[in-house]
Amino acid sequence: MVKKRQDYKGVVVCAPVTIPYSRYSIKSAHWFCGKALAELITSSGLSKSDVDGYCISSFTLSPDTAVGLMQYLGVTPRWLDHIPMGGASGAVALRRAARAIQCGDAEIIACIGGDTNHVDTFRETIATFSQFANDAVYPYGSGGPNSSFAFLTDYYMKQFGTKREDFGKMCVDQRTNALPIPFAMMKKPLTIEEYLNARVIAEPLRLFDCVMPCAGADAFLVMTEDKAKSLGLSYAKILATIERHNAFPDDPVQIRGGWAVDIDDFYNQAGIGPKDIDLMQAYDDYPIICFMQLEDLGFCDKGEAGRFVQSHDLTTGGDFPFNTSGGQLSTGQAGAAGGYIGIVETIRQLTDQVIGNTVENAQHGLVSCFGMINYDRGICTSAAIFGRSTA
């Protein structure tokens, strides 16, 4: 009998911040993270010294880690964590920070995911991504994540008969969500024809299946509900979180992620089920991984995501609002910020600070994160459910 996990009662998230994305930047990751911190304190009326804890995620701080960044930013936190989990970082940072707040190890924690993107940064990042990737993936065509996700997509499509049109439906809806977002990389509507006929990148993936690397940062604050109230900040509650690493290692090709291991625990902690979710942000560097998240988090059965997507409207005004700011596929992948974008967007929706289109009457938002194609599959999964402060 697994011990029941403690809830996150009294801990909240607030101050959703995005440093506008740009395709390339000559600024450093330190700059992006620092700008995010500046925006966090400005928007919440804090001073720099009020923030006494940090969770940092970035691929491009090298040779620094979160440690070097602290001196760079001139801050003296009493609690510091570096979450190098790529796309899974956001919910993991949230979990670490929430417990630290709960235990009193820190009072206000800034969770920041930020990266720069110089002209050659992306290639350098993927060329030295992990030992297994260096040894056994990158020398095979050097496609980076394109080739890894091409495998997953190819396998999945042949297993379940999924069509490119199914992925396309999702991409098109997300693009609709992205259109009012000023910092989105993709500014034009996407038609299903454009999606289907785009140039091939790595079969079966075409251009609009692939996320566009860019520079930017996303950040939020974690603190007690009381603290948020005293500062007059709008906040969202944390109802549940999970993380899992290297799940299902015996699956020869990845068709599911760690969410499937923890789904029951997840909804039990939240006290609600998939039907109660009003909006979902899924990690979306490639459509295939969204399909797995829909399935593994209980919105449909394995292999059914294509049909699910086709039978739902994923736009903000639709019956299943999904990646309501357009997701990374439309706004771009600002490195580790890609792990934070879903949380930041969810906080915005649940605290009425929306930049794009609002999901009406949203009470519960689910954020799902995924990261680190270490060898042949994504290793890290995490997720969180948030509730409106009044919920």
Partner 1 sequence: MIKALPHPKWKDPRVRTRKPSMPPGNRSREAQGLLSMAARGRFALQVCSNCGAVQYPPRQLCGKCLSEELSWQDVSNKGTLLAETTLQHSNDIYFRDRLPWKLGIVVADVGPSMVVHLSSDCKQGDKVRLALSIDAAGNAVVTARPEKPTSNEKDDLQLREMEFDPKHRRPLIVDGKTEMGLELTKAFLSAGARHVFVGYAKPWYESQYLEEIKKLDKVSVYPLDVTDTDSVEELVSMIGDKVEIMVNNSYHLRPGGLIDRFDINTAHDEMEIHYYGLMRLAGCFGPVMRAMGADGHHSATAWLNIFSAYAWINNPAVGTYSASQAAALSLSQCLRAELTPGGVRVVNTFIGPIEDEWHQLAPPPKLLPATIAPRIVSGLSKGIEDIPIGAVAEEILERLSENPKEIERTIKL
Strand partners, 54: 80, 110
Taking residues 112 to 131 in sequence order and writing x for each that binds partner 1 by CB under 8 A, - otherwise, the string is: ----------xx--xxx--x
Smallest separation, CB 286 to partner 1 (Å): 12
Smallest separation, CB 198 to partner 1 (Å): 11
Residue choice 26, 67, 119, 136 for contact with partner 1 (CB under 8 A): 136
Residue choice 135, 226, 264, 352 for contact with partner 1 (CB under 8 A): 135
Residue found by looking up tokens 């090298």 in the block: 62
Residue choice 1, 2, 4, 140 for contact with partner 1 (CB under 8 A): 140
**Residue 49 corresponds to which amino acid?**
S
**Nearest to 178, CA basis, from 189, 168, 164, 194:** 189
Nearer Cβ to partner 1 (25/153): 153
Nearer Cβ to partner 1 (49/128): 128
Binding range to partner 1, per CB under 8 A, among 85-93, 160-168, 197-205, 284-292: 197-205
Smallest separation, CB 133 to partner 1 (Å): 9
Number of residues that bind partner 1 (CB under 8 A): 38
Q: Write the secondary structure of the chain as one string of H (helix), E (strand) and C (coil).
A: CCCCCCCCCCEEEEEEEEEEEECCCCCCHHHHHHHHHHHHHHHHCCCHHHCCEEEEECCCCCCCCHHHHHHHHCCCCCEEEECCCHHHHHHHHHHHHHHHHHHCCCCEEEEEEEECCCCCHHHHHHHCCCHHHHHHCCCCCCCCHHHHHHHHHHHHHHHHCCCHHHHHHHHHHHHHHHCCCCCCCCCCCCCHHHHHHCCEEECCEEHHHCCCECEEEEEEEEEEHHHHHHHCCCEEEEEEEEEEECCCCCCCCCCCCCHHHHHHHHHHHHCCCHHHCCEEEECCCCHHHHHHHHHHCCCCCCCCHHHHHHCCCCCCCCCCCECCCCHHHHHCECHHHHHCHHHHHHHHHHCCCCCCCCCCCCCEEEEEEEEEECCCCEEEEEEEEEEECCC
Taking residues 240 to 259 in sequence order and writing x for each that binds partner 1 by CB under 8 A, - otherwise, the string is: ---------x--xx------
**Alpha carbon distances (Å) from 16 to 3, 111, 380:** 33, 10, 23
Taking residues 17 to 56 in sequence order and writing x for each that binds partner 1 by CB under 8 A, - otherwise, the string is: ----------------------------------------
Residue choice 31, 72, 155, 248 for contact with partner 1 (CB under 8 A): 155
User: 369-388: which residues touch partner 1 (CB under 8 A)?
Assistant: 375-376
Smallest separation, CB 302 to partner 1 (Å): 17
Binding range to partner 1, per CB under 8 A, among 37-45, 164-172, 199-207, 229-237: 199-207
Smallest separation, CB 134 to partner 1 (Å): 5
Nearer Cβ to partner 1 (202/384): 202
Nearer Cβ to partner 1 (98/372): 372
Smallest separation, CB 152 to partner 1 (Å): 7
- The structure tokens listed for 376 are 């042949």
Regarding 203 and contact with partner 1 (CB under 8 A), the answer is yes
Smallest separation, CB 54 to partner 1 (Å): 32
User: 69-108: which residues touch partner 1 (CB under 8 A)?
Assistant: none
Residue choice 38, 70, 201, 261 for contact with partner 1 (CB under 8 A): 201
| Site residues for partner 1 per CB under 8 A | 122-123, 126-128, 131-132, 134-144, 146-147, 150-152, 154-155, 158, 199-205, 249, 252-253, 375-376
